[in-house]
Structure 1
Amino acid sequence: MIVPWQDIPEETLRNLIEHFVLREGTDYGETEISFDDKVTQVVNLLKNKEAVVVYSELHETVDIKLCRDLSSGSSA
Structure 2
Amino acid sequence: MIIPYQELNAETLNNLIADFVSREGTDNGFDQDQESRIQQVIGLLKSGEVSIVFDPQTESVNIIPAKEAQHYESMINHS
TM-score range normalised by the length of the shorter chain? 0.7 to 0.9
Deviation at 1:40, TM superposition (A): 0.4
- Can you list the C-alpha shifts for 1:35-65, whole angstroms capped at 9, x where unaligned? 1111100000000001101011111111111
Q: Which amino acid aligns with 1:15?
A: N
The alignment status of 1:10 with 2:31, answered yes or no, reads no
Q: Which amino acid aligns with 1:14?
A: N
Matches of 1:28 and 1:7, distance apart in 2: 30
Q: Residue 74 of structure 1 corresponds to which residue in structure 2?
A: 72
CA root-mean-square deviation: 2.0
Query: What is the correspondence of 1:19-30 to structure 2 with a 5 Å cutoff?
Result: 19-23=19-23, 24-25=26-27, 27-29=28-30
Deviation at 1:71, TM superposition (A): 7.2
Q: Runs of 4+ in structure 1 displaced over 4 angstroms?
A: none
Aligned length: 72
TM-score normalized with structure 2 length: 0.77
Q: Percent identity?
A: 32
The alignment status of 1:35 with 2:37, answered yes or no, reads no
Higher helix share: 2
Q: What SS does the corresponding residue of 1:74 show, helix, strand or coil?
A: helix
Q: Which amino acid aligns with 1:16?
A: L
Matches of 2:57 and 2:42, distance apart in 1: 26
Q: Residue 77 of structure 2 corresponds to which residue in structure 1?
A: none
Q: Which amino acid aligns with 1:44?
A: G
Give 5+ residue unaligned stretches, structure 1.
none
